Chains A and B, each alone.
Chain A
C-alpha cells in the first residue's frame, strides 16, 4: 500500500514534469521540469532499493548534467522557442507512430499474465556489491567508458573553444561566412 502510494507520488511528479517539459516554451522551464523528473526518478530508484543508483542519479544527472544544460541556456541566452512549421512529417507521421507504439507497449504490459509483483526495496543495491560488480565483472567496460569520457572532454573542448582560440586562423571566418551566405539566399523556411 505504502509502496503504491509512494510510487504514484513520484510517478505523478515524473509524468507531470515530462509533460511540462513538452508544454513549456522556454528552455529553462523545460530544464527545471526535467530536473524535477530526475529527482523523482531517484525516488523511484529508492523504492526499487537501488539507493546508490538514486544518489548517483541526483549527483550526476540533476547535479551535473542538468547544470550544464542550465549554464548553456544562460550562456546562449536562449529565449522562448519560435513556433516554426518546419516539419509536417514529424507531426503527421511521427506523433501517431509514437502514440501507437506506446499504446501497444502499454497493452502488452498490462495484459501480461505472468507479470510478477515486487516488494518495496526489492533489490538492495548495496554500494559495495555494486563496486564489486563494477570493478570485477565489468572492469573492461568501465575502463572503456573512462576512455570515452576522456575523448568526450577533449572533443567538447575543441568544439566549444572559439575557432581563433585553436591555432587555425584560416578556419575562423570561412565556415560561418559561407553558411551565412547560404542562409541569406533564403534557404531557410520563414
Chain B
C-alpha cells in the first residue's frame, strides 16, 4: 500500500527529465529520445490514475499514446535521416536556418 502520489511523482520526474533533455542535449536523436521519455512519464500517470479511479480506459489510453509514439518515431527518424543527408550534422544548434 503506497500512496498514488509516488507514482505521479515518478512520472513527473521522468517528464521533467525529458524536458531537461530537450533543453540541454544537442543531438537530434537524443532530443527525440527525451520526447519518448516524456511520453513514458505521461503513460505512467495514465496507468496510475486508472488504478485510482478503477477505470480501465486509462490503460487503453496508454495504447493510443504508444501508437502515436510509434508513428511519431517512424516519421521523426525519417526526418532526422533526411536532415542528416542535407546538413550532414545531427547537432540542432547547426540546424538553425529557419529564422528571421
Q: Could you give, for residues 71-86 of chain B, a 1 whenever the CB lies within 8 Å of some chain A CB and a 0 otherwise?
A: 1111101111110111
In the complex, the answer to whether A123 meets B8 with C-beta atoms within 8 Å is no
In the complex, the answer to whether A179 meets B96 with C-beta atoms within 8 Å is no
A84 in complex: contacting residue of B4, B32, B63, B94, CB < 8 Å? B94
Using A21-B21, A94-B23, A98-B19 as known contacts, say yes or no to A117 and B4 having CB atoms under 8 A apart. yes
Using A48-B47, A78-B90, A153-B74 as known contacts, say yes or no to A119 and B1 having CB atoms under 8 A apart. yes
Chain A interface residues (CB < 8 Å from chain B): 3-4, 7, 11, 14-15, 18-19, 21-22, 27, 30-31, 34, 37-38, 41, 44-45, 48-50, 52-53, 56-57, 60-61, 64-65, 68-69, 72-73, 75-76, 78, 81-87, 90-91, 94-95, 98-99, 101-102, 105-106, 109-110, 112, 115-120, 122-123, 125, 129-130, 133-134, 137-138, 141, 145, 148-149, 151-153, 155-160, 162, 175-176, 179-180, 182-183, 187-189
In the complex, the answer to whether A91 meets B24 with C-beta atoms within 8 Å is yes
Q: Could you give, for residues 32-60 of chain B, a 1 whenever the CB lies within 8 Å of some chain A CB and a 0 otherwise?
A: 11101100100110011011101011011
In the complex, the answer to whether B91 meets A81 with C-beta atoms within 8 Å is yes
B93 in complex: contacting residue of A87, A91, A101, CB < 8 Å? A87
Interface pairs (25), CB distance under 8 Å: A7-B6, A18-B17, A21-B37, A22-B24, A22-B25, A27-B30, A30-B25, A38-B40, A41-B44, A48-B51, A56-B66, A65-B73, A83-B26, A84-B91, A94-B23, A95-B20, A118-B3, A119-B1, A120-B1, A122-B52, A123-B59, A137-B57, A138-B64, A176-B86, A179-B97
In the complex, the answer to whether A50 meets B59 with C-beta atoms within 8 Å is yes
In the complex, the answer to whether A116 meets B59 with C-beta atoms within 8 Å is no
In the complex, the answer to whether A37 meets B51 with C-beta atoms within 8 Å is no
- Nearest-Cβ distance from residue A154 to partner chain B, whole angstroms: 10
- Nearest-Cβ distance from residue B41 to partner chain A, whole angstroms: 9
Task: Report B-chain residues with C-beta under 8 Å of the C-beta of A64.
Answer: 70
Number of A-B contacts (CB under 8 A): 263
- Nearest residue (CB) in A for B79 is A159
Task: Report A-chain residues with C-beta under 8 Å of the C-beta of B12.
Answer: 102, 105-106, 109
- Nearest residue (CB) in A for B57 is A133
What interface size band does chain B fall in? Answer: 35 or more
In the complex, the answer to whether B54 meets A123 with C-beta atoms within 8 Å is yes
In the complex, the answer to whether A98 meets B20 with C-beta atoms within 8 Å is yes
- Nearest-Cβ distance from residue A65 to partner chain B, whole angstroms: 5
Task: Report A-chain residues with C-beta under 8 Å of the C-beta of B23.
Answer: 90-91, 94-95, 98
Task: Report A-chain residues with C-beta under 8 Å of the C-beta of B86.
Answer: 175-176, 179-180
